[in-house]
Structure 1
């Protein structure tokens, strides 16, 4: 039985690694937080909060840039809502804990719904696990581009690849200062894996053709950092930072963000990363590696032997 359990565990790992769900996390939500949200600015898209909205004395305006039809959950909070008011321009406000004296305001279609915390927790856990899985998957990809750091005032992402996904592997220390741009015209999705641990204070700024207009093509993967401060003039591109608390104070954040928590004073713009591997649709598995079939065959053989006994 121990061998069988080990085989099943290995099989589960392989299957989980064969799925890319970015379109369902930072391709759907403007902000996904495992813990708490504390901001004083608007969020244009949908939010999914695993902890609390902890904004005493402040107001939150959400979902001005999502469609009115169909009606979706614009605000989902597993825990409590503490604020002067939370307002949606479109969509529902759904929470599992207490809203206390917070004014919950619907400016468009939608409803206010208090739902079982366990149901919301399960929903959140599935989404956040997809964030972790995607982060692990993307960091394993082989780079087909380089980051030219010879001139700190003109940092360049460079690639001559014709692939349908560009991958860059860089160090967080490369983003401490300076300005960065693309040495090509972005036309396909781009993954930027950022290596490093601990705290990262980003003062580097996008310039040139690294504009808000290409933000929906870019995903930054800060896979090991535990704290990230976006201190430059805003940020272009979605962010996976499943182990990090993030802060910001200037410009705007243009992309879908997934992290432990967020504290900031800037707007989040609904420029989402909706990459789906070619030949696949949302929620489908990408082709599994050959070891999957070996493990599956071993599982079948093990079960057959046990039945004989």
Structure 2
């Protein structure tokens, strides 16, 4: 599946006078949060935070698994940064509020600087709306796969479809215990829509062919109505789209991109990016890239061409 990669020259030129062409955060994100971030572990990819970084006395290491690219910001925070230090391996650190006594460190290319908070907020609001729009879109897709729960210790995602996108619809209760596995060899992007509401305690564990290096980048979990997600099992594989949920995780690791209200945790967030892009009308201009592009593996687009698949 080919990813479009046309970058808006207008966007880059808008900030040329400041000397920093990268302030529009063109690129991919491991973490997009509407509100706050608090963690005691590394985040391997880029982050965009609509609220604050609240990590008094702690250190944050970002971007250890992204390529050196001066057009991409490693850290963007609309609000304040409170931490002992925030360190990037490459890319800029941008903030709209106050950094206080936080030490901002760039080990590779890039700088740390403050921009107008209103400007960053406007950009973030457009991006987060795309997160909501994508979540709404995915939950309307017809399923072309099934979820077999006959064996509670080995729940299987199954599909014989030859489509270029697989869609599964499951209930959140199925993720409270047991093991998860695929009954086939995953080779195309997969959307797993998880129905339910309130707070979900996730104790299920990925098993067998749910491989972190090859399968996690193919999977997007769409928790479209939940307000809270607690990952209590042995980590989690696949990207998480949860626009109305506060997320916590203290065991294992999170292998994929995350879009949520907030994240509080003590585990590494690994840069296993989902690369599917929802179809759009060919001649419809967009003010922000889709959530899948921003979160999980694309670049800012002026237009997105429509791609049809049997699941739509």
Could you tell me which residue of structure 2 aligns to residue 13 of structure 1? none
Q: How does 1:30-49 map to 2 (within 5 A)?
A: 30-49=30-49
**Deviations 1:27-53 (Å, cap 9, x if unpaired)?**
811000000000000000000000000
Q: How does 1:19-30 map to 2 (within 5 A)?
A: 28-30=28-30
Q: How does 1:255-270 map to 2 (within 5 A)?
A: 255-270=256-271
Following superposition, the deviation at residue 277 of structure 1 comes to 5.1
Deviating beyond 3 angstroms after TM superposition, the runs of 4 or more aligned structure 1 residues are 277-289
Q: How does 1:70-219 map to 2 (within 5 A)?
A: 70-213=70-213, 214-219=215-220
Structure 2 unaligned blocks of 5 or more: 1-24, 283-297
Larger Rg: 1
**Deviations 1:235-257 (Å, cap 9, x if unpaired)?**
11001000000000111101000
Counterpart CA distance in 2 for 1:261 and 1:82 is 16
> SS where residue 55 of structure 1 aligns?
strand
Whether the 8 Å contact between 1:256 and 1:270 is mirrored in structure 2 is yes
Q: CA RMSD in A?
A: 2.0
> SS where residue 54 of structure 2 aligns?
strand
Higher helix proportion = 1
Counterpart CA distance in 2 for 1:191 and 1:82 is 35
Following superposition, the deviation at residue 69 of structure 1 comes to 2.6
Counterpart CA distance in 1 for 2:116 and 2:198 is 35
Superposition TM-score, scaled by structure 1 size? 0.82
Whether the 8 Å contact between 2:70 and 2:110 is mirrored in structure 1 is no
Measured at CA, do residues 119 and 171 of structure 1 come closer, stay the same or move farther in structure 2, by a change above 3 Å? same
Counterpart CA distance in 2 for 1:212 and 1:278 is 27
> SS where residue 152 of structure 1 aligns?
coil
Counterpart CA distance in 2 for 1:63 and 1:125 is 23
Measured at CA, do residues 261 and 180 of structure 1 come closer, stay the same or move farther in structure 2, by a change above 3 Å? same
**Deviations 1:79-108 (Å, cap 9, x if unpaired)?**
000000000011000000000000001100
**Deviations 1:109-154 (Å, cap 9, x if unpaired)?**
0011100001100111111111000000000000000000111101
Measured at CA, do residues 186 and 91 of structure 1 come closer, stay the same or move farther in structure 2, by a change above 3 Å? same
Could you tell me which residue of structure 2 aligns to residue 274 of structure 1? 275
> SS where residue 150 of structure 1 aligns?
coil
Structure 1 unaligned blocks of 5 or more: 1-24, 290-309
Whether the 8 Å contact between 2:48 and 2:75 is mirrored in structure 1 is yes
Measured at CA, do residues 133 and 277 of structure 1 come closer, stay the same or move farther in structure 2, by a change above 3 Å? closer
Counterpart CA distance in 2 for 1:102 and 1:152 is 48
**Deviations 1:197-249 (Å, cap 9, x if unpaired)?**
00100000000001102110000000000000011111110010000000001
Counterpart CA distance in 2 for 1:64 and 1:168 is 32
Counterpart CA distance in 2 for 1:288 and 1:207 is 32
Whether the 8 Å contact between 1:90 and 1:110 is mirrored in structure 2 is yes
Whether the 8 Å contact between 1:171 and 1:195 is mirrored in structure 2 is yes
